[in-house]
Amino acid sequence: MTTMKIDLKKELKQLYTASLNEVSFVRVPELRIISVTGRGDPNTSEEFKNAVEALFSVAYAIKFAKKRAGKDHAVMPLEGLWWTDDMRYFSLEHKDIWQWNMLIVQPDTVSDIDIAAGITAAGEKKDLPSLGKVTAGVLDEGSAAQVMHVGPYASEAASVEKLHNAIKEKGGAFNGVMQKHHEIYLSDMRRTAPEKLKTIIRQPFI
């Protein structure tokens, strides 16, 4: 059987590449996702760790099932939406009140039935505390600006400021809750030195 392989990072190259020096403006189409929502400091929260483990377990279960059916695809990088109920307190000093929606984009060939089967298959292989929190959904961001950040997550402030200033210069606006701070993790945070981490920072706006 000939296996077709989909790589959304290549098909959606404009969304998964960014400049270190210049902010780019993109139009994000509706994207199918699997996600887990939670809250707490990502550096210390067991809930966060469990969410990421569950997402990747389900993503790979889906991939292998589709590959057996002749419709293989590359697993996309981990992404995160971040916010607080009151964005005045969204800062490094208040990580304990951060809310997050960790997600992995899926190709259109993956159906809700495929996702449900992936959740079941992942649970049969390993005990995953956050497996029951994995849901299928759609990410709909529309107009957005993005920039590449290289280095520790704690040093993103300058990149975020550059991004926000570019949006304001364009006449755009966002409130941080409806249009959430979005990060795309191109590096494996478990195996990459902090100074080499590559993260696309994206901010949707209206």
Ordered domains of the chain (ranges, CATH)? 4-204 (3.20.80.10)
147 vs 202: CA distance, rounded Å: 7
Beta strands 198-204 and 181-185 are antiparallel
Cβ atoms of residues 147 and 24 within 8 Å: yes
Whether 2 has a pLDDT exceeding 80, the answer reads no
- What does pTM read for this prediction? 0.94
189 — pLDDT class (breaks 50, 70, 90) = confident
Residue of 182, 152, 150 lying closest to 164 (CA atoms):
182
Burial class (CB in 10 A: 0-12, 13-18, 19+), 23: buried
How large is the average pLDDT for residues 164-171?
97
Of residues 13 and 92, the one with the higher pLDDT is: 13
pLDDT digits (tens, 9 = 90+) for 142-165: 999 999 999 999 899 999 999 999
pLDDT digits (tens, 9 = 90+) for 71-94: 999 999 999 999 998 887 777 677
Mean pLDDT (the chain) is 94
Cβ atoms of residues 166 and 174 within 8 Å: no
The span from the first CA to the last CA of the chain, in angstroms, equals: 46
Residue of 66, 85, 75 lying closest to 9 (CA atoms):
75
Report the pLDDT value the prediction gives residue 86, as an integer from 0 to 100.
Answer: 81
Whether 19 has a pLDDT exceeding 70, the answer reads yes
Beta strands 79-83 and 99-106 are antiparallel
